[in-house]
Structure 1
Amino acid sequence: MAMILQLIVSLCTLISITESSDVFRSVGSSVQLDIQHPVPKFDELIWVFNRVNNVLKYYSEFKKTKQTPGYEGRVEFNEETYSLTLKNLQKTDSGLYEAKASGDEVTVVAEYRLSVLDPVEAPVLNLQLSNDTCNITLTCRGHDLSINSSCYKETCEEKEVTSPGGVTLSLSVSGSTIICNHSNPVSWKTDVLEMKELERLCADEGEGSVSPSAGVSVCLLKTVLYSIILTLMLSAVITVHIREKLTKSS
């Protein structure tokens, strides 16, 4: 029974050691990878990339480090904490990093999955008017992602899409501002539109339509026009009547 319990504990310890932590950094930045588990007595401690490529090797007896060609000048090693710092990161640095302490046996004491990403591009937020300008379609675009949202007066649909690479595009409303946000785990950029712009467009539509007051003005114009015509006709009749009277008198 004791042997079984010891085996279970050993398996749990092995699982916890082999779990990797996800780390995200932008191109050109740096990252420090720290030891995650107790380090047993060792002869060599090796930081390995993608399980086969040595990044750096540290010899405990001689207190010396050896960097692999290709990493020279881009890595720093702390002889007290055994942490590894990678500088000027490139996309090709993305992958699995492990720290292995080698003595009587090999123990994995740190494991990280690093993703090096470009900053996102600035998104673009546009609006498209319909026949009813109080109904507006918003389009939020960022790289190869796009969102369409419908707005009526001061109410807009909030939407979000995410690509498999962890890039997110969202359209949301915060107070009086409509926000188109383009982000990934290392950066974000936005384009905004003020709600008062939608209110102005909707108000313009109201001013352009025929209101009751505008209808009264048209009616009044017609009444005045008819009055003028009737006055002219009446004047013509009176004039003819006067001429006839004068003709008879003479």
Structure 2
Amino acid sequence: MSLFVILGLLVCIQAQGIIVTPVFVLKGRDLLLKFDADLPEGVLFVDWKINKTVTLVRFLPSGKQNVHKDFTGRLEFPEKNSVTLKNPQEADSGVYTAEVVTETTTGDKQLAEYKVTVQGPVSPVELIVDRVDSNSSESCDLHVTCRTHNSHINSTFRCVNRVCSQEGGERSEVTTSGASLQVYLLNSTIICNHSNQVHWTQNFNTTEHFCPEHPGPVLSALLLRTVVVSVGLIIMVSAVITVHLVDFKKHQ
């Protein structure tokens, strides 16, 4: 019996053809909502509702719009099938539906449904290099903190012969405000990123600033002694040859 109930619900959902569309909008940026469905015959009115309880606006066949008093001055109507909410705030988040009532139906028929989430901009983020450990001339470890006002992530980057990697891979966490805080490596750049679905801020630095290219190897003591001995032998041979040439000229 339960299988037939489930199949019946699926058929009803497909028949309605309504897909809930998630929408994320930046606080203060105008929100445009519209429906693409054709209106049936005998329309009495079309409503845009929030959370299926409060009617923002009712469109009458005459073209007149009856706007809810709490939204007076906040709605615009660029087209017959759309509405624009001006300067949305976090409190405007919710489910927005367009519904039509006709002379031949006893209930509302949905034309569109949006799950709207209004988000504010995320706070600035800072990348701090806490410590640099250099174990040899070819390697160093960078200990960094990716910080925002209410959260932070620590991570370590190891560079060997100027090839760097992040210990444990990319680090991320969800902040108390629901945004994402990340620190990761892109080529030789450490990036600290703070973002939500509509806004992001970044701070970054390159590993070369803290693990510069080391100079080439210096001459070893053995090689240096070999060079000195060789130069000394050349000077001695040259001196002997010079003495013999001078003596030869005297006897001529």
Is TM > 0.5 for Structure 1 vs Structure 2? yes
Comparing 26-35 with 142-151, which one deviates more in the overlay?
142-151
Tell me the residue number matched to 1:25.
Answer: 25
Alpha-carbon separation, structure 2, partners of 1:93 and 1:28: 11
Tell me the residue number matched to 2:171.
Answer: 159
Tell me the residue number matched to 2:52.
Answer: 51
Comparing 91-100 with 148-157, which one deviates more in the overlay?
148-157
Alpha carbons 2:131, 2:144 under 8 Å: kept: no
Q: Do structure 1's residue 173 and structure 2's residue 169 form an aligned pair?
A: no
Alpha-carbon separation, structure 1, partners of 2:67 and 2:182: 43
Alpha carbons 2:133, 2:142 under 8 Å: kept: no
Tell me the residue number matched to 1:149.
Answer: 155
Written as runs of structure 1 = structure 2, the 5 A alignment for 1:126-145 is 126-129=128-131, 132=134, 134-145=140-151
Q: CA deviation at 1:70?
A: 1.7
Alpha-carbon separation, structure 1, partners of 2:9 and 2:125: 54
Change (3 A) 1:30 1:79: closer
Alpha-carbon separation, structure 2, partners of 1:8 and 1:167: 34
Identity of counterpart residues, as a percentage? 29
Match of 2:203 among 164, 173, 191: 191
Q: CA RMSD in A?
A: 3.0
Q: CA deviation at 1:10?
A: 4.0
Q: What amino acid is the match of 2:88?
A: L
Q: What amino acid is the match of 2:90?
A: K
Written as runs of structure 1 = structure 2, the 5 A alignment for 1:221-232 is none
Alpha-carbon separation, structure 2, partners of 1:124 and 1:7: 50
Where structure 1 has 5 or more consecutive residues not aligned to the other structure, the ranges are 205-211, 217-250
Q: CA deviation at 1:161?
A: 2.2
Q: What amino acid is the match of 1:31?
A: L
* Structure ID, larger Rg: 1
Change (3 A) 1:51 1:6: closer
Q: Deviations over 1:161-213 (max 9, x none)?
A: 2358651111122223211011001101100111211213x959xxxxxxx87
Alpha-carbon separation, structure 1, partners of 2:204 and 2:98: 45
Greater share of strand: 2
Q: What amino acid is the match of 1:171?
A: V
Written as runs of structure 1 = structure 2, the 5 A alignment for 1:70-85 is 70-80=70-80, 82-85=81-84
Alpha-carbon separation, structure 2, partners of 1:121 and 1:6: 48
Runs of 4+ deviating beyond 6 Å? 5-8
Alpha carbons 2:89, 2:118 under 8 Å: kept: yes
Tell me the residue number matched to 2:63.
Answer: 63
Aligned length, in residue pairs: 202
Q: What amino acid is the match of 2:97?
A: E
Comparing 137-146 with 92-101, which one deviates more in the overlay?
137-146
Q: What amino acid is the match of 2:155?
A: S
Q: What amino acid is the match of 2:87?
A: N
Greater share of helix: 1
Alpha carbons 2:190, 2:205 under 8 Å: kept: yes
Where structure 2 has 5 or more consecutive residues not aligned to the other structure, the ranges are 1-6, 225-252
Alpha-carbon separation, structure 1, partners of 2:9 and 2:86: 40
Alpha-carbon separation, structure 1, partners of 2:89 and 2:11: 39
